Amino acid sequence: MSLGFMAWTLLGQWLALAAVMGVAWLVQQRTGNSGWVDVAWTFGVGVAGAAGALAMSAGEAWTERQLLVAALVSLWALRLGSYIVGRSLHASDDPRYAELTKTWGEAAPRMMAGLLQAQAVASLPLVLAVTVAAQRPGAGVTWADLLGAALLAVAILGEGIADRQLAAFKADRANSGRVCDRGLWGWSRHPNYFFQWLGWLAYPVMAIDPSGSYAVGWLSLGAPVAMYWYLVHVSGIPPLEAHMLRSRPEAYRSYQARTSAFFPLPPATEPRLAR
């Protein structure tokens, strides 16, 4: 795939994501449930990523690597998207978006529309990473491809386990008002976010050619860098922890003091500084 063709592919991915997030805004405005925004984003990134992976010029045939990468990003989207669908069906709103809507007041519809379009733009490093990984020259599947696939499988499994552990904790009425610190949640305050980030490392593993013959492969590093920034500093940990501190201040401060914020670490025997 030439750089020009890749640029056109990225443009198409952006337009598709912009359209998806536009529909997500309409659904959010109609239902009042912002959880559907994340459903739309997840499936949108999955479809745009798979389309980029399978993009080809006239007369070309799909390679084994293209098919593998398309399957991987589709599997990620299906797992995460179906989980968020189930969560959204049983929730009135997402507390992160709800707080933003409250802060924005009468400007909320306009601000939400802008935010969702910003998310479409912010998703471009992710779909670009998928595309350049799939389009790496060479038809056969290499050890790097298998390693990347294994890394993504571990990430999907780990995130799924974290989600199930949290759901089981919330389902027990005896835990009302408490903070989940069991299983993976005793090692990280956000193990689901950690595994979400870990999965995006799979594409640089598949895309980067150490020999330097595929220079655009290095662009795939934008995915884990961007995802880490979003989760740790923007839309993940900050608003969620602010919500938890409002709803369970003492319990959550205690949890912060003894549990790593992002990277899994053994539970502290003594309180550690909140991060």
For the chain, give the mean pLDDT.
Answer: 92
- Residue 49's pLDDT band (cuts 50, 70, 90): very high
User: What confidence score (pLDDT) does residue 5 get?
Assistant: 80
Q: How many beta carbons lie within 10 A of that of residue 233, not counting itself?
A: 10
List the structure tokens of 230: 């979003």
- Residue 58's pLDDT band (cuts 50, 70, 90): low
Q: Cα angle at 247 between 243 and 250, to 5 degrees?
A: 110
Residue 275 pLDDT exceeds 60: no
- Residue 1's pLDDT band (cuts 50, 70, 90): low
Which amino acid, one-letter code, is at 52?
Answer: G
Rounded-to-integer distance, Cα 124 and Cα 6, Å? 12
Digit-coded pLDDT (tens) for 205-236: 999 998 888 999 999 999 999 999 999 999 88
- Residues found in the chain: 275
Q: How many beta carbons lie within 10 A of that of residue 222, not counting itself?
A: 18
User: What confidence score (pLDDT) does residue 190 get?
Assistant: 97
User: What confidence score (pLDDT) does residue 96 get?
Assistant: 85
Residue 57 pLDDT exceeds 80: no
Tell me if 254 sits within 8 A of 181, measured CB to CB. no
- Residue 16's pLDDT band (cuts 50, 70, 90): very high
32 against 2, higher pLDDT = 32
Specify the pTM. 0.91
HEC letters along the chain: CCHHHHHHHHHHHHHHHHHHHHHHHHHHHHHCCCHHHHHHHHHHHHHHHHHHHHCCCCCCCCCHHHHHHHHHHHHHHHHHHHHHHHHHHCCCCCHHHHHHHHHHHHHHHHHHHHHHHHHHHHCHHHHHHHHHHHCCCCCCCCHHHHHHHHHHHHHHHHHHHHHHHHHHHHHCHHHCCCCCCCHHHHCCCCHHHHHHHHHCCHHHHHHCCCCCCCHHHHHHHHHHHHHHHHHHHHCCHHHHHHHHHHHCHHHHHHHHHHCCCCCCCCCCCCCCCCC
Digit-coded pLDDT (tens) for 106-165: 999 999 999 999 999 999 999 999 999 999 988 689 999 999 999 999 999 999 999 999
**Region 172-187 average pLDDT:** 93
